[in-house]
Amino acid sequence: MFIVVVGAGRLGLQIAESLTHAGHAVTLLDESRNALESLAGGFSGSRLEGDAAELEALKRSRMEEADVVVAVTEKDSLNLLVAQVARSVFGVPRVVARIYDPQTEEVYRHLDVDIVCPTSLSAQRILGILRDDPGASADQGD
């Protein structure tokens, strides 16, 4: 598969590396050259320096040929822009976006995009741990 990962933060880097190791063709887009260069030597995909908020930069990533786009910059709004452009302009079949704000996540839930909300995920996981711990379940009230 050809996958475009937008955002070379910790999450983007880890996803890009794992996907190339799994044999996929990956392009990683970020506006910071430093971030792109911090990829370990094992990354065999391409690095593209560009502003994800510029349509031309998204075009240069050959997004219209991608099977999957993963939008994981540090900004919710930028991920939402990239995800919607990937779906509506470039017709990418599968799009995943990270959204930190759970309230925003709810607004965009109907969208044809898979949204991952780290806040909600962590909260669920932590509550799950507390539930499994008999010492904490009493305080939780359920």
Partner 1 sequence: MRRRVLIVGEGRILYFLARAFRARKVEVAVLTPVARDAATLARRMDLLVVHGDPTQPRFLEEAGAGRSTDLVAAAEGDEDNLVVCQIAKKLFGVDRTIALVHDPDYVDVFRQLGVGAVISTTDLLARIVSDRTALEEFENLVPDADGSILVSDVVIGEGDFAAGRPLSELPLPSDCLVGGIVRGKGMVIPRGGSRLEVGDRAILLVTSESESAAIALLKTGPG
Residues that bind partner 1 (CB under 8 A): 53-56, 75-78, 80-81, 84-85, 88-89, 101, 103-104, 107-108
Report the nearest approach of partner 1 to the CB of residue 79 (Å): 8
Closest CB to partner 1 among residues 19, 98: 98
Report the nearest approach of partner 1 to the CB of residue 66 (Å): 17
In Å, how far from its chain's centre is CA 43?
18
Distances (CA, A) of 40 to 14, 37, 46, 69: 10, 8, 13, 21
Long-range contact set of residues 38-44: C-beta below 8 Å, sequence gap at least 24? 38/8, 38/13, 39/8, 39/13, 42/17, 43/16, 43/17, 44/20
Closest CB to partner 1 among residues 39, 86: 86
Closest CB to partner 1 among residues 52, 66: 52
Report the nearest approach of partner 1 to the CB of residue 83 (Å): 11
